[in-house]
Structures are given as structure tokens and as C-alpha cells.
Amino acid sequence: MDRRNMIGLGLAAAAMPKFALADTVMPGDGSVPSDPKEIVTLWPGTPPGGAGVHLPNRIQNRDPGAAPVDRYIDQVGNPSMIVFRPDKPDGSAIIVAPGGGYSREMMDFEGTDVARRFNAAGVTVFVLRYRLPGEGWANRSDVPLQDAQRAMRLVRANAAKYALDPARIGFMGFSAGGHVACSIATRFAAKVYAPVDAADSVDARPSFSMPIYPVVTMGDGRHAGSRDKLLGENPSAEAIDAYSCKSIYRPMRRPPGCAWLPMTMSCRRSPMRWPISPPCARPISWPRSMSSRPAAMAMASARLSESRMRPGPTCC
């Protein structure tokens, strides 16, 4: 190969698009121009169990150069909610907890994309950046529920500010975020942190619950990574039982409207079977074309949940 050919190949290579070989940390706060600018910080000071914890939020892009972005966040030291306001609000709202095995949170695929779909239907959406239990917090197993309860109370306490009906505020979660959704649906009254202001006197019970392909059990059939992050590598039998949503399910204490979509983690066609199936559960088989789109699943789940809402303490 002569020198001219080598130069030509070098120039051609320089002109080709460059693809990162690993996730790329995004500069600054990791935002893109289309992101909403309204952010609600959950805790007025140091979050519960945060003494000595110093974590700068880190946002990475899984596919640099791709459009749209596919970001995730970890090192969540300052939990918050990103507010997505619709052009024509209908008075309802959803708090969305993205998944990521309790080691990270998928900001776009299970957050931003979902929020924009609901905005188009008039729903106000709060995408939750909850703390991850394996990042040094005291009482690690309760950290996601602490943030979920606080988020629900803040949204409900400020319903007038967002033009919301306090009785139409639900909670949705995907994968490990689905475990957060199951947890607040069944443990909304658990005292997992000391009150910090007047908002903590507000009911944390979701008006409806939408866990989508959730992590449900911490026992047999568990998602090992999620359990290890939430409970540690060798949890006791008591901890496994206490944090398995199927074990703490109580028919009279769930939200009045619920749509449980117990899909497998890989979104296969056949739904997984719960050892205990709530009376209001409706396992749904999705065509692969839809199951690959969390936003589409979320919209279908919302329609199911809304159709099953009834006054009173039961959802069926």
C-alpha cells in the first residue's frame, strides 16, 4: 500500500462518525434543550440517612450520537422530580419511577418518553429521580420508599399549584421502579422517615397504581441485581418477606384503582405468574411491537386503571 492510499484511508476514517465504546458521562447537569426546566427537590436539607453521603448526580448517555438520547442517572444525591406540564391539563397526574435494577434509572426510555405521551393526553407527569439504595444511605432498604412517599405528599400538598385533583394522583413504575410503585401502593402509611414539614401530614396513598413489568419478589424468582442493591447480598428471610410486594399485598389497603402489568423483565409475550394474584390484576399479553415501547404500555395501563377506579377502599 503506497503513501497516497494510506493518506486517503486516514482521511476517510476521520470523516466517519465516531461511536463510543462505553457509556459517556454527559457534561453539566446532563440535560438536553428539550428537557423541562421545572424541577422539584424532594428534601429541604439532607435526605433521610444521608449523613456523610456526598453524591453528585451523574448522568450518562448509553448511545452517544444517537437521536433521541438514551440517558440514565446514578449517584443520586439530591432526589427530585422533573415536572412535565401538558398544554391542556385534565386535573390528573402521575409520578413515574424509571427502572434500572436499583443501580441506575433510565431517564428517557422509562421516563421522559412516557411523560410526553401522557402530556399529550392532558396528564401532568412528575418523573422521579429517587435515591438508589446501594449508594451509602442508612436504612438502605427503605430509601426508595422514602422518596416515593415524599414525592406523593409534595404533589398532593401542592395540587392547586399544578391544577390537579388530589384524588387523581397516581404512581407508575417500570422494572425496579415498578417495585417502588408496588411498595408505595401497599406501604404508603409505613413510617419510614421522620416528618420534615407540613407536607408530610398529607396522605401518601396513590389514587391508582401502575407497576409495569415490576420487580415483585425478593425470594424465589427474584431479579438478583435488584435484590442485592436493595437488601444486600445475604438478606434475612424476614427482610425477603418484608420487601416482597406479593407478600405484603393486602386487598383492603391497595389504591382504589390499579392496573398491574406483571411482564417478564425481557418483555416476552407471555406474562409471568404471581404466586399471589391480586383480584384486580389483569395480566396482559403484549405483541412484541408494543412491549418494546414502555410509553405505549403505560398509556394502555392508564386506561385500564382509570376504568377500574371505584369509590371506597377496594379496586375491584
Range of the domain at 273: 37-308
pLDDT given at position 25? 64
DSSP run (H or E) holding 14: helix 3-15
Q: Work out the average pLDDT over 245-259.
A: 52
Kindly state whether residue 14 falls inside one of the protein's structural domains.
no
The rounded distance, in Å, linking the Cα atoms of 9 and 58 is: 38
**CB contact at 8 A, 174 and 264:** no
Nearest to 82 by CA among 118, 117, 41: 41
Q: Among residues of the chain, what percentage have pLDDT more than 70?
A: 67
The x, y and z cell numbers of residue 65, run together, are 450520537
- Write the single-letter amino acid at 310: R
Kindly state whether residue 182 falls inside one of the protein's structural domains.
yes
pLDDT given at position 234? 87
Kindly state whether residue 273 falls inside one of the protein's structural domains.
yes
pLDDT digits (tens, 9 = 90+) for 223-235: 877 888 898 888 8
CB atoms within 10 A of CB 99: 28
Band of residue 33 on the pLDDT scale cut at 50, 70, 90: confident
Kindly state whether residue 9 falls inside one of the protein's structural domains.
no
- The segment with the largest mean pLDDT, out of 17-21, 60-64, 159-163, 208-212, is 159-163
**CB contact at 8 A, 148 and 180:** yes
Domain of residue 225, CATH code: 3.40.50
**CB contact at 8 A, 259 and 212:** no
Band of residue 265 on the pLDDT scale cut at 50, 70, 90: very low
pLDDT digits (tens, 9 = 90+) for 71-127: 999 999 999 999 999 999 999 999 999 999 999 999 998 999 999 999 999 999 999
pLDDT digits (tens, 9 = 90+) for 45-84: 999 999 999 999 899 888 776 666 789 999 999 999 999 9
> In which residue are the cell numbers 434509572 written?
105
- Tally of domains in the chain: 1
Kindly state whether residue 94 falls inside one of the protein's structural domains.
yes
Kindly state whether residue 164 falls inside one of the protein's structural domains.
yes
pLDDT given at position 134? 92
Give 55's Cβ-side CA count (13 Å radius): 23
pLDDT given at position 216? 82
pLDDT given at position 219? 80
Decide if pLDDT at 263 tops 50. Answer: no
Quote the mean pLDDT of the chain.
Answer: 76
Decide if pLDDT at 264 tops 60. Answer: no
Q: Work out the average pLDDT over 211-220.
A: 84
Kindly state whether residue 23 falls inside one of the protein's structural domains.
no
Kindly state whether residue 15 falls inside one of the protein's structural domains.
no
- The segment with the largest mean pLDDT, out of 73-77, 150-154, 255-259, is 150-154
